[in-house]
Structure 1
Amino acid sequence: MPFPFPRPRLAALFASLALACAAHAQSARPTLREAVDAAWSLSPQARALVSRQAELDARARAVGSFLAAAPTVSLAHKAGRGNASGAQETEAEISAPLWQPRLRSATASQVEADRAALSAQIAAAKLKLAAEARELATAAAVAEAQLELASRKVSEANAVAADTERRVKAGESARVDSLRAQSALSEAQSARAAAEGALARALANWRALTGMPQLASLDEAPGPEGAHPIVQAAEAQARAARSKLEVTEADRRDPMEIGLGVVRERPGGGAATENAVRLSLRVPLGGDIRNGARIAAARAELDTAEAELDAARRLAGAEREAAVAELDAARRSERLAADRERFAREAQELIAKSHRLGETDLPTRLRADAERFEAELARARASIEARRALSKLNQANGAMP
């Protein structure tokens, strides 16, 4: 069966067009930062965290009020019976709870600490989402490189099979060489199909996270080493827990209540109606029964937050050290993979030329082709892994794309 074999000029034209299209697609790709912003807009966690802003605003308005809670109104009416028939008494009172000493300022501090903790949580959540976007973009880039090389391998195997078929018809090669060439072509086509499936899966995962149909570019510049958002979130959470403990210690009893009432009394028996104004003050008493468990729970929450802060600092330091080592190793691997690819390419070109001249058999040519393909794939992976290692170092430093 004949196989199409493109002429050199036509093949060069196709290659130039492919490179131009690839360059245009690369330039039109969104950045990782744009992808992270798109993923954040779709994240359920983002919506939940942003909704907490309304809660904090309501708490801030409550702290700004002169009263500790909403006032209450009470009404009472009594009517006499028997000997006291005709006597009546009506009471109306409005009472309002007042802030305890230090409780109002402690509550205001807690609201501000919770607001800072929320902002830090949002930054940490965005950084974690950036890690997912970086990993998915890397996986998709590897799948793209595999598909590109697999497609080129199919073209090369197709050309070898066509050349071998021509030689068999001319009586220059045995029929077994044609079968070997077609087997190599089928293997290359199978590898391309597998690469297409891997890329489809990577693209599906990418769209599920970001909602974007196109992959982001992996090009990242080294980010500065600064405060890590996850550590900052743990620090803010510890401050919020400390503020909560201060509020709990200041809130040792129910709020005092001041009341203003009017009493209208008619003794009966034709006596005149009497009116009076009443001022009341209610001071609840505190005790360990009310406060002991609450203070203990707040202290336990603070201890947990401080322990999590220590763990976050240790983890951030370890991740930064590991990322630096991984980047150094990835760059060395990239250089070695480039050398391997150069050696394999030069060897394959020599063997291919020798095969065209009839000096080398087909199995040797196929092995050289396979070695070159593996070397090119290894170099593409090493290049992507180097960019991935730089991205992971930025992630470990707490730098957004």
Structure 2
Amino acid sequence: MSREYLDAACRCVIQLTGLIFLLGSPIALANGERKGESALKAFYESSWERQPDYRAYQYRVEAALAKQKIASSLLVSPASVEVSQKTDRANSNQGASETILGLGIPLWLWNERSSSINLADAEYKKLMSQYYLAQLKIAAEVRDTYWNYQRSKIESDLALRRFENAKTLAMDVEKRFKAGDLSRADLHQANGALASSEAFLVEAQANVINAEQRVRSLLGSENLKKIQFGDATKNIEPVPKVPENLSGLDSSLPIVAALMDQLEVARKALDLAKSQTRASPELQIWTTKGREVYGVPYQQSVAIGLRIPFGSDARNANRLASATAEIVDSEVRLAYERESALSNVESNIALVKSAQLKLSAADKRSTLANETRQFFEKSFRFGETDLPTRLRIEIEAVDANRQAAVAKINYAVAVSNLRQALGLLPE
């Protein structure tokens, strides 16, 4: 009965391990094309290249540059030409004829051109900062997905190792039970430990599958085979240097810089609204050539005029109110996000230090637990230790190893979160 249980458990693990291999082999075994980069950086760059913001960025830049060119032009809008012809051929046919050619030149209002140039420049700068924020947003998703995958993979490896150890112990107990050295209760305890380790292994492998699905959603099928994830401990990002006075980070934080650019756009929009008190005036130039009857020489004249539209207080008040509302919103948002960003940096600095201390303690515990397991494993083989003690030591060693492995991932996550708070892309 025990042998059948062991064989069934082994078949189950082999099938699940094969499924994990089929699903995970493109990630775990593929030869990456970006060998000079870290796996995390290659993962980020491949994910970013699939984003709509990356694809549309070039055209947004072209639009912003075109807007700057329009704002710098000499005319507020293109000039217009008007042509008309007057004749009496359909009526008296006395030879009367008149041709009118007119040119309309729209003019800038006072300070309107300079305000338009400043607004176009501010919007271009805002486009740059918003683009970097979009990059950071994807970087946050990539970091979370990458370290979640690495954590699940490590836990799966530890669960498989625990299962193999439990299987070896159960087979040893079965042999000694048949030899009469151990009781059936000991055999049941060993098989129970094997069943528990199998359940942990199945759950860990299911977590790996879920983590891989998140990786696939970011990378896409075409980029999946280009990334080699490698060893998680070799892909820990470098710890950034943070000044003691965090207030010096104020304007260097991307979210703060982006909101400052947005506030500048709102201010320039208000300046433009103040200058646009009416529609654009127009300089008009006409030339007329005509005669009254046959035989009379053609006469030509030139006229110059200026068309000035009336102003509208209601329409101008609407633009001023909207621009003022944007300024108020940007100022309040900037103050809130500045304080939040600095607090986030400060808390992540503390989390990195805490994770480093936990990693050191977990490594020490893992080393001691593994040495203790070796001692009790030998004493159990010689019959000097009972099975419950042997199982307890095994569980403690497995838990210590898991804690040490997870502590390494948590430290890497803390460093990544600190870099994310500082607005640094993956390296």
Q: Which TM-score tier does this pair reach, normalised by the shorter chain?
A: 0.7 to 0.9
SS at match of 1:278: strand
1:291 shift after superposition: 1.1
SS at match of 1:42: coil
Match of 2:18 in 1: none
1:333 shift after superposition: 2.0
Distance 1:224 1:120 in 2: 22
Distance 2:136 2:313 in 1: 43
Contact 1:224/1:399 (8 A) holds in 2? no
| TM-score computed with the length of structure 2 as normaliser | 0.82
1:271 shift after superposition: 4.7
**Cα deviation per residue 1:324-364 (whole Å; 9 max; x = unaligned)?**
22122222222332333234333333332222122333232
Match of 1:275 among 277, 300, 311: 300
Q: Note if 1:45 corresponds to 2:58.
A: no
Structure 1, unaligned stretches of length 5 or more?
5-21
How has the CA–CA distance of structure 1 residues 137 and 82 changed in structure 2, closer, same or farther, with 3 Å as cutoff? closer
Distance 1:268 1:361 in 2: 132
How do residues 168-317 of structure 1 correspond to structure 2 at under 5 angstroms? 168-211=177-220, 212-213=223-224, 214-215=228-229, 217=232, 218-225=235-242, 226=249, 227-268=252-293, 271-317=296-342
Match of 1:58 among 66, 75, 83: 66
Distance 1:327 1:157 in 2: 35
One-letter amino acid of the structure 2 residue matched with residue 151 of structure 1: L
How has the CA–CA distance of structure 1 residues 190 and 41 changed in structure 2, closer, same or farther, with 3 Å as cutoff? same
Contact 2:65/2:124 (8 A) holds in 1? no
**Cα deviation per residue 1:164-215 (whole Å; 9 max; x = unaligned)?**
1211222212234333323322322222222122112212212322345343
**Cα deviation per residue 1:29-73 (whole Å; 9 max; x = unaligned)?**
834233222222111133344431111111122123222111222
Match of 2:344 in 1: 319
1:146 shift after superposition: 0.2
Moved more, 366-375 or 169-178: 169-178
Match of 1:75 in 2: 83
Match of 1:9 in 2: none
How has the CA–CA distance of structure 1 residues 198 and 370 changed in structure 2, closer, same or farther, with 3 Å as cutoff? same
Give the superposed CA RMSD. 2.8
Distance 1:377 1:359 in 2: 28
1:305 shift after superposition: 1.3
One-letter amino acid of the structure 1 residue matched with residue 127 of structure 2: L
1:323 shift after superposition: 0.6
Distance 1:210 1:305 in 2: 35
Identity among equivalent pairs (%): 30
Match of 1:335 among 360, 371, 387: 360
1:272 shift after superposition: 4.5
How do residues 319-398 of structure 1 correspond to structure 2 at under 5 angstroms? 319-398=344-423
Match of 2:152 in 1: 143
Q: Note if 1:131 corresponds to 2:140.
A: yes
Distance 2:238 2:111 in 1: 50
Structure 2, unaligned stretches of length 5 or more?
8-27, 243-248
Give the aligned length: 384
Match of 1:18 in 2: none
1:95 shift after superposition: 1.1
Distance 2:85 2:65 in 1: 41
